[in-house]
């Protein structure tokens, strides 16, 4: 857990551990909100060109709930390690975090390595936190951006050939924020019978 989280739901640990104890699950992520109540993290999708992004970021909970995205647990490509529960054996099996991702993406890389081993990545809306994101991160934005850019290029080079499309995201939907909107023209040709 990050040091910049505030618990909203008291039974968050039971909710997350309940999934993490299942043999087929590699990691479990939580619902994180910015202090203003908008969504910061509801799981991660591999967006266009393999760039990972938090789905429903900056969307109000009420708006996201209308689409039904927040009513049930879901398998996704990745979750943020700002709040993640996983078994130690799974963590050790994939070699833990790749420390060459010093600022970002080490959690997404970890999830994708778990998926390569056949594990599911679960996100639950029933473990909720406020996340005061970046409160404890580096203060130098220029340095942070340069490092992020380098790590992002490395991540895409490694993972885009393995996961050219996110298997948990409908390819007919927009790959640009806020996501979950129909893409015109459709990205996938319909099957004609």
Domain presence at residue 165:
no
**Cβ–Cβ under 8 Å, residues 125 and 70:** yes
193 residues of the chain, pLDDT tens digit each: 999 999 999 999 999 999 999 999 999 999 999 999 999 999 999 987 778 888 888 888 888 777 777 889 999 999 999 999 999 999 999 999 999 998 889 999 999 999 999 999 999 999 999 999 755 454 556 677 888 888 999 999 999 998 888 989 888 887 776 666 776 655 555 545 4
CATH number at residue 139: 3.90.550.60
Q: Is 183 exposed, middle or buried (0-12, 13-18, 19+ CB in 10 A)?
A: middle
Contact 162, 78 (CB under 8 A): no
Position 190 in a domain: no
pTM attached to this predicted model: 0.88
Q: Hunting for tokens 């995205």 — which residue is that?
A: 69
CA atoms of 88 and 45, how far apart (whole Å): 24
188 within some domain: no
DSSP category for residue 64? H
DSSP one-letter string for 137-171: S-S-HHHHHHHHHHHHHHHHHHHTTT-SS-TTS-T
- Does 168 fall in a domain? no
Q: Which structural domain, as residue segments, surrounds residue 39?
A: 5-159
The pLDDT score that the predictor gives to residue 122 is 98
For residue 176, tell me if it sits in a domain: no
For 115-152, how does the pLDDT look when each residue is reduced to its tens digit (9 = 90+)?
999 999 999 999 999 999 755 454 556 677 888 888 99
Is residue 57 a part of any domain in this protein? yes
The answer to the question of residue 119 being in a domain is: yes
- What is the count of structural domains for the chain? 1
Is residue 181 in a domain? no
């Amino acid at each position: 857990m990050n040091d910049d989280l505030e618990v909203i739901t008291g039974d968050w640990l039971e909710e997350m551990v309940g999934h993490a104890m299942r043999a087929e699950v590699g990691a479990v992520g939580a619902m994180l909100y910015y202090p203003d109540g908008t969504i910061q993290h509801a799981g991660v999708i591999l967006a266009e060109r393999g760039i990972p992004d938090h789905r429903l970021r900056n969307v109000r909970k009420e708006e996201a709930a209308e689409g039904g995205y927040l009513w049930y647990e879901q398998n996704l490509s990745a979750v943020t390690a700002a709040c993640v529960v996983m078994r130690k054996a799974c963590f050790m099996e994939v070699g833990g975090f790749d420390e060459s991702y010093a600022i970002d993406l080490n959690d997404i890389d970890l999830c994708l390595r778990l998926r390569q081993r056949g594990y599911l990545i679960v996100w639950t809306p029933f473990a909720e936190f406020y996340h005061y994101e970046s409160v404890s991160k580096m203060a130098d934005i220029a340095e942070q951006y340069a490092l992020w850019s380098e790590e992002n290029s490395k991540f895409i080079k490694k993972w885009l050939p393995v996961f050219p499309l996110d298997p948990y995201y409908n390819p007919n939907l927009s790959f640009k924020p806020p996501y979950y909107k129909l893409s015109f023209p459709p990205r996938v040709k319909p099957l004609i019978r």
